[in-house]
Amino acid sequence: MFSTKWSYRIFDGTNILLLLGFSVLTFIPFLHVFAMSFLSLDNAKEFQRFLLWPTQWDFTSYQYIYDTRIFFSSLKNTVWITVVGTLINIAVTSSMAYSCSRRSFSGKRWIMLMVLFTMLFNGGLIPTYLVVNGLGLIDSLWAIVIPSAVSAFNMIVLKEFFEGIHESILESAKIDGCNDLGIFFRIVLPLSLPALATFTLFYAVANWNQYFASIIYTNSSDLWPLQVLLRQVVMVGQSDIFGAIDLTAPPPPPLSIQMATVMYTSLPILLLYPFLQKYFVKGMTLGAVKG
């Protein structure tokens, strides 16, 4: 990997330095958020400094968020949306992308045009709401998962990827007696693990961050996902002018509540990345096609 020619060495070195620099630059604010989330009222002075590592390990802010009545139910809702939603997303997107990638599919052009159309134009909030209402999905978690089952952009990219799988591999499977469904599940999907892993990640993050759809389509606070709850907590922490909560103990400082919120929001989905790392492998099909 490291060449011996000195010009290449310099290039490699600068490359590594710049990349390291940028990663550190991106990582420092996150570290700061992590540090600030552990501050409590006693350390008011610390708020003025730019901390990189917690000076104390005070879990009051985390506890404050954890203590809200619906913390567990909203965590459950978010996990449900992420897991079920991503499964539906990947299943629908990959099957649609695969069918649109087959040359023998006659309606392909029209379907792709329609998909492209939805990427450029959107009905807007009210028509979408009317559709979801008409389907009877209002006030249920399915309203968050089903209408957004396919992201047009993801589908198009996945279709391109499937088109890149050489026809001869599939033909050889057909010769061996595999039907179309078998080809899809046994050949195409395993070969596309990098792409699938990528899109799983995209969809999972989007589902985890789901906020707006749940406010619009659900009426009960029992169906709130974590993001909505966290936003409410941040707002309550920031102002008690409306006397929303009468507390015997003063709430933690608004800033550390916000930081704890950020940690709650980002850590779980961040932990997803290492598990998907191993799928980002290239070159699985190298050498499979000769000539």
Partner 1 sequence: MKVTKPAFTMLSILTTASLLAACASSPADPSPTPASTASPKADDMNKKYAVKAMTILYGNPPAASGYGIQAINDRYNIDFQFNSVPSGDYNNKLATAFASGNIPDITLIEDSTQTFYNYAEAGAFLPLEDYIKDYPNLSKIPQDVLDLMTYKGHLYGIPRIRAASNWVLSIRKDWLDKLNLPMPTTYEELTNVMKAFTENDPDGNGQKDTYGMAMSYASGFISSVAAFTPTKVMPFQSWVEDGKGGILPGWAAPNGRELVKLVTDWYREGYISKDFVLMKSSQSEEDFLLGKAGIHGDFAFNAYSPERLNKARAANPDFQWDVVPPLTALDGTEGSYSLGSGFYGFNVLSAKAGSDEGKVRRLLQILDDQMNASGIVPFGDGEEGVHFTNNADGTKSYTSLGNSERPGLYLMTNPIPEGDFLINPSLPDEIKQIQKKAIDTALSGTPYKDASLGVISKTKIDKGEELSKFLLDGVVNIIVNGEPIDNYDLLIEEWKTRGADQMIQEMNESYKAKNAK
How many Cα neighbours within 13 Å face the side chain of 156?
A: 13
SS3 86: helix
Binding segment toward partner 1, per CB under 8 A, in 93-101, 143-151, 155-163, 220-228: 220-228
The letter for the amino acid at 134 is G
CB 255, min distance to partner 1, A: 8
CB 29, min distance to partner 1, A: 16
| Cβ neighbours, 10 Å, residue 159 | 22
Q: Does 235 bind partner 1 (CB under 8 A)?
A: yes
Pick the binder of partner 1 from 129, 184, 202, 279 (CB under 8 A).
129
CB 235, min distance to partner 1, A: 6
* Cβ(89)–Cβ(147) below 8 Å: no
Q: Which two tokens stand for residue 62?
A: 């985390």
Binding segment toward partner 1, per CB under 8 A, in 8-16, 22-30, 177-185, 228-236: 228-236
In the region spanning residues 22 to 61, those forming contacts with partner 1, defined by CB under 8 A, are 41-42, 44, 47
Closest C-alpha to 76, from 204, 264, 223, 267: 223
- Contact code string over 236-265 relative to partner 1, x by CB under 8 A: x-xxxxxxxxxxx-xx-xx-----------
Q: Does 232 bind partner 1 (CB under 8 A)?
A: yes
- Cα–Cα distance between 102 and 108 in angstroms, integer? 8
Closest C-alpha to 156, from 115, 106, 202, 206: 115
| Cβ neighbours, 10 Å, residue 146 | 15
Closest C-alpha to 168, from 21, 288, 249: 288
CB 128, min distance to partner 1, A: 9
* Cβ(148)–Cβ(87) below 8 Å: no
Q: Does 224 bind partner 1 (CB under 8 A)?
A: yes
Question: Which one, 12 or 139, has the nearer CB to partner 1?
Answer: 139
CB 191, min distance to partner 1, A: 26
Q: Which two tokens stand for residue 290?
A: 């000769």
CB 252, min distance to partner 1, A: 10
Q: What residue ranges bind partner 1 (CB under 8 A)? A: 41-42, 44, 47, 67-70, 106-110, 125-127, 129-130, 133-134, 212, 215-216, 219-222, 224, 228, 231-233, 235-236, 238-248, 250-251, 253-254
